[in-house]
Amino acid sequence: MKKKSIYKKGTWDNLRSALIPVLFTLVVIVMIVYGLSQTEASGKAEGLRILEDGIRRAVVINYAIEGRYPESLDYIVQRYKIHVDDTKYAVHYRIFASNIMPDITVIEL
């Protein structure tokens, strides 16, 4: 003899048992996508910082060796083998005098 259940599953119960795993999966996917976008943004910022620090270091080394700051960014790139990706970054290098640290700004394009 088959026992009757005192708890009868309704439509809402069936729907809820199907929706909970789907919603949980969607939340996990959204969290992963958000984490990847944050990682990409921090990677871009780190690349920008590394390039600017490298240029500044080369400028200071040049001043220590030659007693003056380089006249242009091209001089730094050729002499100290700094690689500037022109498709990703714009470098503003402005020198006021040979004994004053130049203004160096790196901007992401």
Lowest mean pLDDT among 62-66, 84-88, 91-95: 84-88
Tokens of residue 83, six digits: 């690689």
Is the pLDDT at 1 greater than 60? The verdict is: no
d(CA 81, CA 58): 9
pLDDT-derived band at 109, boundaries 50, 70, 90: confident
Q: What is the pTM of this model?
A: 0.68
Which pLDDT belongs to residue 106?
Answer: 92
CB 109 within 8 A of CB 92: no
Q: What value does the CA radius of gyration of the chain take, rounded to a whole number of Å?
A: 30
- Contacts of residue 91, Cβ cutoff 8 Å, sequence gap at least 6: 51, 55, 73, 84, 104, 105, 106, 107
β-sheet bridge partners, residue 104: 93
Question: What is the torsional sign of CA 43, 47, 52, 54?
Answer: positive
